[in-house]
Amino acid sequence: MKYRDFGKTQSKVSEVGMGCWAIGGNEYGNSYGSTDDSDSIRAIKRSVELGCNFFDTADVYGQGHSEELLGMALKKVREKVIIATKVGGSYMYGGQWGMSNFSEEYIRFALEKSLQRLQTNYIDIYQLHNPSLNLIKKAEIFSILRKLQKEGKIKHIGISVHTLEEGVAALNYVDVN
């Protein structure tokens, strides 16, 4: 496996990472087909054996199931891997489908739930999950994430966006650029 510097994070990340959207399972429409938890865990562990150290997920993938599987599979190698997860889908906890919430209260709540599912006490890269361009440009959202960094709950700030314009706007505030 080859590794690269991951932006300004001082981390080395494998050129091949594992996206964990599909292992969340079919129950919530988050899969390409049927999934098997034991197969997913074996795949995660095997990818680590082959040198993969980067895993991307989100709290909404399988309503948290993707994070649970990662937590189980990576518990013994946690310090050797980089986990990126996302926050913002308030429908995860009873909100209206498709609605987002980026309030400090919600982010703190969702982060604690992700930490529990991932069986860890920190997230390597905590990403805003598809915030609006208007929210990105306001920039207050990033002060919330900076607080979480200072508290040691997240190492780096990231953002998952839909458009080039959103990505360019975010470059002023995230750690990995």
* Measured distance CA(3)–CA(69) in Å, rounded: 24
From residue 74, alpha-carbon distances to 110, 140, 164, 165 in Å are 20, 33, 33, 35
Single-letter residue type at 32: Y
Which helix H or strand E contains 14, and what residues bound it? strand 12-14
Whether residue 58 is predicted with pLDDT greater than 70 in this model: the reply is yes
Which helix H or strand E contains 37, and what residues bound it? helix 37-49
- Set out the domains of the chain in order of their start, with CATH numbers: 3-170 (3.20.20.100)
Determine the pLDDT at residue 8. Answer: 78
Determine the pLDDT at residue 177. Answer: 38
Question: What is the β-pairing status of strands 12-14 and 3-5?
Answer: antiparallel
Whether residue 94 is predicted with pLDDT greater than 80 in this model: the reply is no
> What's the whole-model pTM score?
0.91
Residue-level length of the chain: 177
> What is the per-residue pLDDT across 138-168, written as a single tens digit (0 to 9) for each?
878 888 999 999 999 999 988 899 899 988 8
List the catalytic residues.
61
30 or 89, higher pLDDT: 89
Phi, psi of 144 (to 5 degrees): -60, -45
